[in-house]
């Protein structure tokens, strides 16, 4: 069994340390390069003491040659960073898994509007495959560049996919009321992310417009084969990990919703449809790559409610990235990702 050599660019944030944690348990991959301009020279385990004994390596300055020598390179960078280095790696035939937003939107103008920066390599966008395996498994297997789906978008898309594909809900008027743990805001030192600000508090944010909205609409439209518009309201909830999305849509015809969901996801290793009447809890996926879903039609009305939970750092980021890597490299899709969540 050959080991896959892995490079990680920008591994000082939460998705970076989560890649390192998960890859430490991956039997066929080995991290060989970890880059960070800010922390170059410093031991990885000094920054993240949970990795002591698992990684004896230091951050290095990002260097294209070194990275290109890896079988696969993950970008765990803020947006508008990967796009400057990815072209050189693609040119050298290195596979790239980008956890940032740089290659998620196929419409460059839309991307530039929402991210407020000019895209530096728009010509690469068409070949980027959107990294949601449940939707794009075949394409991911042959992709050289994967743009891993965002955290909120993953939960909302997996929640609506069965209904949109069955064509039994209105494609307008959908509401996604999403709640995220604070790690979604990253490891940056911001007042709003302080324990004494985000703790014991609940609030909405980005109600006027959040960057994940166009990504979600692109994905849902693709599933529906028609334009889908939704109202998306993200909230911050005082927990470290986890996203809970509660989604409301209008049914257009009668259907056995539980069956629709169960048959849609019967063969998916990381989507779990809960038994009828049981609702998912974020802690049931803490640290795991599973997305759990429930569907219900309260009071027998026309409004269908779907609940989706995931760990925003795993299925919403680093776990899904590794799932994509497994597919790209011909490994079993679940390799290294089959551990139960940490509960309590």
Positions 215 through 244 that interact with a second copy (CB under 8 A): 229, 231-233, 235, 237-242, 244
Token output for 67: 């990275």
State in angstroms the smallest separation of the CB of 8 from a second copy. 15
Q: Are 156 and 245 in contact (CB under 8 A)?
A: yes
Closer to a second copy by CB, 33 or 230: give it: 230
Q: Are 290 and 334 in contact (CB under 8 A)?
A: no
State in angstroms the smallest separation of the CB of 92 from a second copy. 31
Q: Are 76 and 52 in contact (CB under 8 A)?
A: no
The only residue of 126, 191, 253, 256 in contact with a second copy, by rule CB under 8 A: 191
User: Which residue is associated with the tokens 């690469």?
Assistant: 124
310 vs 291: CA distance, rounded Å: 5
261 vs 135: CA distance, rounded Å: 14
Binding of a second copy by 114 (CB under 8 A)? no
The only residue of 50, 116, 127, 263 in contact with a second copy, by rule CB under 8 A: 50
Closer to a second copy by CB, 35 or 288: give it: 288
Q: Residues 20 to 39: which contact a second copy by CB under 8 A?
A: 20-21, 24-25
Q: Per-residue b/e over 288-305, b at no fewer than 16 CB within 10 Å?
A: bbbbbbbbbeeeeeeebb
Closer to a second copy by CB, 144 or 279: give it: 279
The only residue of 142, 189, 254, 330 in contact with a second copy, by rule CB under 8 A: 189
Binding of a second copy by 329 (CB under 8 A)? no
Binding of a second copy by 334 (CB under 8 A)? no
Binding of a second copy by 319 (CB under 8 A)? no
Q: Which of 151, 178, 264, 324 is catalytic?
A: 151
The only residue of 190, 225, 259, 263 in contact with a second copy, by rule CB under 8 A: 190
Task: Look at residue 50 and give its three-state secondary structure.
Answer: helix
Rounded (5°) CA angle 76-126-213? 60
CB atoms within 10 A of CB 320: 29
User: Which residue is associated with the tokens 């390192």?
Assistant: 20
Active site residue 151: yes
State in angstroms the smallest separation of the CB of 331 from a second copy. 18
Q: Per-residue b/e over 113-142, b at no fewer than 16 CB within 10 Å?
A: ebbeeebebeebbeebbbbbbbbbeeebbe
Q: Residues 58 to 97: which contact a second copy by CB under 8 A?
A: none
The only residue of 117, 209, 225, 263 in contact with a second copy, by rule CB under 8 A: 209
The only residue of 122, 167, 199, 225 in contact with a second copy, by rule CB under 8 A: 199
Question: What is the set of active-site residues?
Answer: 151
């Amino acid at each position: 069994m050959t080991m896959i050599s892995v490079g990680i660019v920008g591994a000082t944030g939460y998705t970076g340390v989560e890649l390192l944690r998960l890859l430490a348990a991956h039997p066929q991959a080995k991290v060989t390069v970890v880059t960070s301009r800010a922390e170059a020279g410093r031991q990885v385990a000094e920054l993240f003491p949970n990795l002591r004994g698992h990684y004896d390596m230091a951050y290095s300055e990002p260097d294209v040659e070194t990275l290109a020598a890896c079988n696969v390179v993950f970008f765990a960078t803020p947006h508008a960073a990967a796009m400057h280095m990815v072209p050189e790696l693609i040119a050298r035939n290195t596979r790239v898994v980008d956890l940032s937003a740089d290659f998620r939107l196929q419409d460059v103008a839309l991307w530039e509007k929402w991210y407020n920066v000019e895209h530096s390599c728009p010509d690469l966008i068409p070949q980027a495959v959107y990294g949601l395996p449940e939707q794009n498994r075949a394409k991911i297997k042959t992709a050289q560049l994967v743009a891993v789906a965002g955290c909120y978008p993953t939960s909302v898309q997996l929640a609506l996919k069965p209904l949109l594909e069955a064509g039994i809900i209105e494609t307008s008027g959908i509401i996604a009321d999403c709640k995220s743990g604070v790690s979604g805001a990253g490891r940056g030192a911001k007042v709003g992310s302080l324990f004494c600000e985000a703790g014991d508090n609940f609030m909405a944010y980005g109600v006027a417009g959040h960057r994940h909205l166009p990504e979600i609409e692109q994905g849902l439209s693709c599933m529906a084969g028609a334009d889908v518009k939704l109202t998306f309201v993200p909230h911050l909830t005082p927990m470290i990990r986890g996203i809970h999305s509660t989604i409301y849509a209008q049914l257009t015809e009668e259907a056995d919703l539980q069956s629709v969901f169960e048959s849609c996801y019967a063969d998916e290793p990381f989507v779990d449809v809960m038994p009828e009447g049981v609702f998912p809890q974020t802690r049931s996926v803490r640290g795991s790559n599973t997305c759990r879903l429930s569907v219900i039609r309260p009071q027998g009305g026309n409004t269908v409610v779907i609940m989706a939970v995931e760990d925003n750092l795993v299925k919403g980021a680093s776990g899904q990235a590794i799932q994509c890597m497994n597919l790209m490299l011909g490994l079993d899709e679940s390799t290294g990702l089959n551990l139960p969540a940490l509960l309590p």
